[in-house]
């Protein structure tokens, strides 16, 4: 229930994670919500998580090419 509520509030077409699963798909795969909740509870109980779970990738996108690569232009 909590997972379904949180997933429903997420933006659908943001960049997918390392497994290339878009949030749109998570919203539609409601049968996974119970399993996701169980996995999250296990993480909370054990107090640790695998390193890959918090890894991410950031891609800077240039707003206006004519301004050049100044930090405020990303």
Q: What local confidence, expressed as pLDDT, does residue 64 receive? A: 95
pTM of the model: 0.58
Q: Is 16 left (phi over 0), alpha (psi -120 to 50) or beta?
A: beta
Regions of the chain where pLDDT drops below 70: none
Question: Which structure tokens are listed for 30?
Answer: 């409601």
Q: What local confidence, expressed as pLDDT, does residue 45 receive? A: 96
Q: What local confidence, expressed as pLDDT, does residue 65 receive? A: 94
Q: What local confidence, expressed as pLDDT, does residue 57 receive? A: 82
- Collapsing DSSP to helix, strand or coil, 69 comes out as coil
Q: What local confidence, expressed as pLDDT, does residue 3 receive? A: 84
Q: What is the DSSP string of 29-55?
A: -GGGHHHHHHHHHHHHHHT---GGGG-
Residue-range domain boundaries for the chain: 2-73
Return mean pLDDT, the chain: 90
């Amino acid at each position: 229930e909590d997972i379904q509520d949180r997933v429903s509030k997420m933006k659908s077409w943001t960049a997918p994670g390392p497994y290339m699963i878009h949030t749109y798909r998570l919203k539609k795969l409601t049968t996974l919500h119970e399993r996701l909740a169980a996995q999250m509870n296990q993480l909370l109980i054990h107090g640790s998580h695998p390193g890959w779970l918090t890894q991410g990738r950031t891609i800077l996108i240039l707003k206006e090419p004519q301004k050049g690569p100044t930090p405020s232009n990303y």
